[in-house]
A and B are shown apart, each in its own frame.
Chain A
Amino acid sequence: ETGVTQTPRHLVMGMTNKKSLKCEQHLGHNAMYWYKQSAKKPLELMFVYNFKEQTENNSVPSRFSPECPNSSHLFLHLHTLQPEDSALYLCASSLRPQTSGGADNEQFFGPGTRLTVL
């Protein structure tokens, strides 16, 4: 239990559906992240929020739309996805930006949402 929860854990959706992934952290962290993990590929950073402000958008297609209403909650809204978007979507949080040293660099990951797009 890392203190980061994600719902749902599994999601199957058609290409015309609209769905949302939810992430919540109970650690008092200031930064939250969305990653995509595909088989045999590096974790891909998608979005970063710091104090609710988006600081990083890693050239993510507009069919993925993030929302951060407060420092504890992060959403990923999905619409008109493609089958190649099927992957594990991981949420993470950290106390502060990754330029800090030592333990401040630790990112705490949620268990992920396994997404299948049909």
Chain B
Amino acid sequence: GQSLEQPSEVTAVEGAIVQINCTYQTSGFYGLSWYQQHDGGAPTFLSYNALDGLEETGRFSSFLSRSDSYGYLLLQELQMKDSASYFCAGNTGGFKTIFGAGTRLFVKA
């Protein structure tokens, strides 16, 4: 079946760097997205990788390796407000996006 696997929880300290990994098993894979969701809020788009390599957007970067069916989200200079759930999502073609179960990030002072 099609699935995306990511760790359930990650804890890091303020100012540090954290990497959230995502491995996927999908057919017809077109690219990998990342979304952030705060408690009680809607998921918001962070990034999309269609090609292998690193995409950088401010403090957040996302990486994709198609040959390894693997990607990650890198968060730098962590802030307390970064405490949230982060979802990787695979674009499997057409209108279908498959989401991982989410990684809960706890940022400590």
A interface residues, how many (CB within 8 angstroms):
30
- A41, B101: Cβ atoms closer than 8 Å: yes
In the assembled complex, A2 has its CB within 8 A of some CB on chain B: yes
Distance to closest chain B CB from A23 (angstroms) = 12
Known: A2-B42, A90-B42, A110-B42. A45 touches B101 (CB 8 A): no
Which residue, A45, A90, A110, has most C-beta atoms of chain B within 10 A? Answer: A45
Which residue, B8, B30, B31, B43, has most C-beta atoms of chain A within 10 A? Answer: B43
- B50, A102: Cβ atoms closer than 8 Å: yes
Known: A40-B8, A42-B102, A90-B42. A105 touches B95 (CB 8 A): no
In the assembled complex, B100 has its CB within 8 A of some CB on chain A: yes
B interface residues, how many (CB within 8 angstroms):
26
**Chain B binder among A11-19, A48-56, A70-78:** A48-56
- B99, A102: Cβ atoms closer than 8 Å: no
Q: Which residue of B lies closest to A49 (CB)?
A: B95
- B97, A98: Cβ atoms closer than 8 Å: yes
- A97, B87: Cβ atoms closer than 8 Å: no
In the assembled complex, B58 has its CB within 8 A of some CB on chain A: no
In the assembled complex, B23 has its CB within 8 A of some CB on chain A: no
Q: Tell me which residues across on chain B come within 8 A of A110, comparing CB atoms.
A: 42
In the assembled complex, B83 has its CB within 8 A of some CB on chain A: no
Contact residues, A87-102 vs B (CB, 8 A)? 90, 92, 97-99, 101-102
Per-residue CB contact flags for chain A residues 36-76 toward chain B (1 = under 8 Å, else 0) read 00001111110010100001100000000000000000000
Question: Which 8 pairs show the lowest CB-CB distances between chains A and B?
Answer: A109-B42, A43-B99, A48-B95, A106-B45, A42-B99, A98-B91, A101-B50, A105-B48
Q: Which A residues are within 8 Å of any B CB, using their own CB?
A: 2, 4, 31, 33, 40-45, 48, 50, 55-56, 90, 92, 97-99, 101-103, 105-112
Q: Which B residues are within 8 Å of any A CB, using their own CB?
A: 4, 8, 30-31, 33, 35, 41-45, 48, 50, 87, 89, 91, 93-102
